[in-house]
Amino acid sequence: EVQLVNSGGGLVQPGGSLRLSCAASGFTFRNYWMTWVRQAPGKGLEWVANIKQDGSEKHYVDSVEGRFTVSRDNARNSLYLQMNSLRPEDTAVYYCAKHLKPDFREDCFDNWGQGTLVTVSS
């Protein structure tokens, strides 16, 4: 059974940093693109970033480019999101998600973590 477990959220002041983690199991992690999606309180879903199987290709939504960094450790079956220079508008539940098909960038997401809440406030 595929499992994705999010962790690392919390309360942080504007300008601060936070690192989110996603522990994967139940599938061959190194074969799949992985994605981060966020959801602000009471709002819809927003794609944030994704990363290729070997980490050699990454993409970001414009609003986080230069502040967030997605990475992965295939030996530990783990995905990360380093968030720097956080702003109040980054407040959201952050989900990691697995792409449906192996080695496929432009894909939908068939398994999701439970989400972790990031609150940016003074």
Partner 1 sequence: DIQMTQSPSTLSASVGDRVTITCRASQSIGRRLAWYQQKPGGAPKLLIYEATSLESGVPSRFSGSGFGTEFTLTISSLQPDDPATYYCQEHSYYSWTFGQGTEVEIK
- Chain residues in the site for partner 1 (CB under 8 A): 35, 37, 44-47, 50, 59, 95, 100, 105-110, 112-115
Could you tell me where the beta strands, DSSP code E, fall in 61-115? 68-73, 78-83, 92-99, 109-112
Structure tokens at 35: 């994605």
Q: Please identify, using beta-carbon distances, which residue of 46 and 91 lies nearer to partner 1.
A: 46
Q: Please identify, using beta-carbon distances, which residue of 16 and 60 lies nearer to partner 1.
A: 60
Comparing CA positions, the residue from 108, 92, 112 lying closest to residue 100 is 108
Report in angstroms how near the CB of residue 122 gets to partner 1 at its nearest. 27
According to DSSP, the β-strands at 78-83 and 58-60 are unpaired
Structure tokens at 16: 């601060």
Report in angstroms how near the CB of residue 97 gets to partner 1 at its nearest. 8
Q: Please identify, using beta-carbon distances, which residue of 67 and 107 lies nearer to partner 1.
A: 107
Report in angstroms how near the CB of residue 106 gets to partner 1 at its nearest. 5
Query: Cα torsion for 99, 102, 106, 108, to the nearest 10°?
Result: -30
The span from the CA of 103 to the CA of 32, in Å, is 5
Q: Please identify, using beta-carbon distances, which residue of 17 and 28 lies nearer to partner 1.
A: 28
Report in angstroms how near the CB of residue 17 gets to partner 1 at its nearest. 25
